[in-house]
Structure 1
């Protein structure tokens, strides 16, 4: 009895270089599985591509089928599948690359159960079969070419697979018994491509066939070569058809994504890659609140990527800590319910092994995690992003959001009576706990002289290291000039809280309206509480934004100056950096890091932080009068 043969079907339309790489990879590796490489030239508009396929067919390496007119992706696939009615097939996009005994591994999965209809491997760009990030288009991980990554999958996930609700068409093994019962792809509805394999998968699922993700095969997929700019529209159209034809399709896929049964298989690959990485491991501890602390930690992790593997540990909720691999493009995370799994966390960190810890913040963290440096017996650094080690109110603000003035023990005790500290501590116990943490740190990193001066009053003998952030260079958007417009447009940046000056800003806006001042306050950002917009208000909000959007938003708003109404001694401010890049005037409080950061800034004015709203507005009006006066003088000179 002759051995079964598999047809490897590769439809081609565009992309000479991608097609050449695809076929080179298919032809480079001998397989135990007998197979024939069938290429369908769907009337390619690239003569060089067609000539290359002819030359290759002349060598006998491939079987070439040529469509005299462009029949569309699905018809091209169907032509390949009907070529030999007794063979299993593998549909392979022309922008993929394979490695090693890829086909043998797919065949082993396909032969494991007579009701297996399709098998799809892992890939960098394959939605529910994507690695390292699920449901994302990924580049290959740095330092892991296809050959190494596929070999790793074959090693750590040998023979492993999970059931899926649908196949993914970039590299799709289909058994002949499935084709015989389900039929071919629907070329009438899905002629151009997108959605045809999902429709086929649902038809197969309805009569009992299974779809597998083969976790021991990895195929590179560039994506978008054949369909180009047409792809998004085809995808949207296919989704509408699938929803009409198969009402269960999207609920099934949604349930699969929520369960993510392939996650343990991806984690095996992650763990194996980490085990082979020669880079030392660092652990960053931080809160779950995002903001400037997380921005700094991630920027630092990105800078360290060439030389270190950085992990982030934070609280997910009151009883769970989550550990995340901070390397860009990675998905790895591990969850530890505490206190039960503290020993598991220690064991995991020892096996990595973590060689140094950097504490960025412990807000919302389980108290048990403060023991990590001691229990792991590794050195650690502690960066002060705010004043949490000396006060549970980390911004040194009262309940109304204003600077507390750092009262004596009695004053702090009265404050904590109204707003209790985490872990039920009084102020003396709190400072004793954190004094020990700071004193045992190899370095206590402070971003400003102001922080250093304040902290030395409480923990004078810690090993402080003054490491300011580099100040930004001036970058003025092309053609940007605010110019007189009858009123002064004042920009306030970021998410406003009472400590960031929300109440002061509202009071300034009310004063401006009451005195009929030509001042308009525009918050490029949002607030922690909903404010009712008023048509006659001198204050408005643009809404939340992503960090990289802020320069463009400022350019669109064209403000005359920036106001920073903070009511607490800020240790640093990323939004101040963005404002300084514009070269526009800045008004800020004489409190925290603002003074030293703006000392050399040519257009900065500082006010006492507790200046009443009318005083802030008077300062703003001095800018307005100066601007108007300058405009008149400039106009007079022009007329002359």
Structure 2
């Protein structure tokens, strides 16, 4: 699909120049028409050679804008800096550890162009915590273009709806952004600001969509260390309080099952003879779904009874190194 309105691609960087930023930028210029986008890169006070590289990038390409922050402002505030510089009719937020594929941009934007009810679109990926994830045997950062080509050709134009989209790569129209606003900077360094934005978009009566025809290779959270991940505990509680709901891990499992169920039903409707092995899967779907829904209700009930301080302690134990767990188990009372 061709389009005349320019896209602003916004990338936030913090160190990881060789591992993340350079391969990311090179993949964008290799697989994207330079006339279709402007590239906005905000650096959050990197200590490596990233600022120097970005200065050179700006001199090399006419469509590059950069902002060099004097301190690490975190993901939401850093991305907001980029959004303030953006002039495109379409906005793409992209992690610096992403590698794109041929025709990725046109495939990513197509649902936003054809369906005004869609407010946010994400691609499929190898490394993501939602049903956007697909696994292709043998795929890695060196062969991902070749290994995903047939899949993308077979499923070009296919879209499914969801409740959550990972912000490692996400696109929206300018009119949606102007209605929803910036990312919530109260999430600090990061984590759950994407879930917050997805909820805000849905409350504004827009749909979230994933396109099966766009794949991005995600190397995976190069910019977050363990200390920053601990900040996620606080953000999770803030998210739940802000939207008056209880966060559960089983929600993701239910979303996965919904996607699998939809695809199996599509297959069944287009085939008169059902494969016996597939039949054994389909007759157990309802039971599995009922089990997950019941587990989700139990999780919500348990979480509501748990005091925030206790909840934080339990999560810390399950995410901590082994030596911390041993200390918690064997410490004297």
* TM-score higher than 0.5: yes
Which residue pairs with 2:167 in the alignment?
Answer: 169
1:240-270, Cα deviation, whole Å (9 max, x unpaired): 1221122347479717725634337888xxx
Q: Is the 8 A contact 1:150 1:219 kept in 2?
A: no
Residues 247-266 of structure 1 mapped to structure 2, 5 A cutoff? 247-248=244-245, 250=247, 254=251, 257-258=254-255, 260-263=257-260
Residue 217 of structure 1, CA deviation: 1.1
Residue 208 of structure 1, CA deviation: 0.1
Which residue pairs with 1:101 in the alignment?
Answer: 103
Which residue pairs with 1:224 in the alignment?
Answer: 221
1:605-628, Cα deviation, whole Å (9 max, x unpaired): xxxxxxxxxxxxxxxxxxxxxxxx
Q: Is the 8 A contact 2:122 2:169 kept in 1?
A: yes
Q: Is the 8 A contact 1:33 1:103 kept in 2?
A: no
Shift of the 14–334 alpha-carbon distance from structure 1 to 2, 3 Å rule, reads farther
Q: In structure 2, which of residues 107, 112, 120 is the aligned counterpart of residue 110 of structure 1?
A: 112
Which residue pairs with 1:141 in the alignment?
Answer: 137
1-side partners of 2:85 and 2:156: how far apart? 32
What CA RMSD, in Å, does the superposition of the two structures yield over aligned residues?
3.0
1:53-76, Cα deviation, whole Å (9 max, x unpaired): 221111026222211332222111
Q: Is the 8 A contact 2:40 2:86 kept in 1?
A: no
1:74-111, Cα deviation, whole Å (9 max, x unpaired): 11101111213553210000011101010010111111
Shift of the 30–336 alpha-carbon distance from structure 1 to 2, 3 Å rule, reads closer
Higher normalized helix content (fraction of residues): 2
2-side partners of 1:236 and 1:161: how far apart? 32
Shift of the 185–197 alpha-carbon distance from structure 1 to 2, 3 Å rule, reads same
2-side partners of 1:110 and 1:50: how far apart? 33
Specify which structure has the bigger relative contact order, considering alpha-carbon pairs within 8 angstroms and separated by 6 or more residues. Answer: 2
2-side partners of 1:334 and 1:152: how far apart? 28
SS of the aligned residue for 1:235 comes to helix
- 1:192 paired with 2:189, answer yes
Residues 610-629 of structure 1 mapped to structure 2, 5 A cutoff? none
Shift of the 5–143 alpha-carbon distance from structure 1 to 2, 3 Å rule, reads closer
Shift of the 217–3 alpha-carbon distance from structure 1 to 2, 3 Å rule, reads closer
Shift of the 83–336 alpha-carbon distance from structure 1 to 2, 3 Å rule, reads closer
**Higher mean C-alpha displacement, 143-152 vs 67-76:** 143-152
Residue 235 of structure 1, CA deviation: 2.5
Size of the alignment, in residue pairs? 268
Residue 132 of structure 1, CA deviation: 3.1
Which residue pairs with 1:122 in the alignment?
Answer: 124
Residue 176 of structure 1, CA deviation: 1.1
Q: Give the unaligned 5+ runs of structure 2.
A: 265-275, 285-333
SS of the aligned residue for 1:225 comes to coil
Shift of the 68–212 alpha-carbon distance from structure 1 to 2, 3 Å rule, reads same
Which residue pairs with 1:3 in the alignment?
Answer: 4
SS of the aligned residue for 1:173 comes to strand
Shift of the 129–21 alpha-carbon distance from structure 1 to 2, 3 Å rule, reads farther
Residue 33 of structure 1, CA deviation: 7.3
**What TM-score, normalized by structure 2, do the two folds share?**
0.72
Which residue pairs with 1:15 in the alignment?
Answer: 16
Which residue pairs with 1:240 in the alignment?
Answer: 237
Which residue pairs with 2:59 in the alignment?
Answer: 58
Q: Is the 8 A contact 2:12 2:44 kept in 1?
A: yes
**What TM-score, normalized by structure 1, do the two folds share?**
0.39
Shift of the 212–27 alpha-carbon distance from structure 1 to 2, 3 Å rule, reads same
Q: Is the 8 A contact 2:45 2:71 kept in 1?
A: yes
Q: Give the unaligned 5+ runs of structure 1.
A: 134-139, 268-320, 324-332, 339-640
Residue 335 of structure 1, CA deviation: 1.7
Q: In structure 2, which of residues 50, 67, 70 is the aligned counterpart of residue 68 of structure 1?
A: 70
1-side partners of 2:35 and 2:54: how far apart? 23
2-side partners of 1:104 and 1:45: how far apart? 35
1:220-246, Cα deviation, whole Å (9 max, x unpaired): 111121112234313322221221122
2-side partners of 1:92 and 1:255: how far apart? 22
Shift of the 148–15 alpha-carbon distance from structure 1 to 2, 3 Å rule, reads same
1-side partners of 2:24 and 2:261: how far apart? 29
2-side partners of 1:196 and 1:85: how far apart? 23
Residue 157 of structure 1, CA deviation: 1.2
1-side partners of 2:128 and 2:139: how far apart? 21
Shift of the 128–266 alpha-carbon distance from structure 1 to 2, 3 Å rule, reads farther
Which residue pairs with 1:355 in the alignment?
Answer: none
- 1:201 paired with 2:198, answer yes
SS of the aligned residue for 1:128 comes to coil
Residue 200 of structure 1, CA deviation: 1.2
Which residue pairs with 1:84 in the alignment?
Answer: 86
Q: Is the 8 A contact 1:121 1:214 kept in 2?
A: yes
SS of the aligned residue for 2:244 comes to coil
Which residue pairs with 2:281 in the alignment?
Answer: 335
2-side partners of 1:33 and 1:239: how far apart? 40
1:314-345, Cα deviation, whole Å (9 max, x unpaired): xxxxxxx867xxxxxxxxx972659xxxxxxx
SS of the aligned residue for 2:23 comes to helix
- 1:24 paired with 2:26, answer yes
Residue 185 of structure 1, CA deviation: 0.4
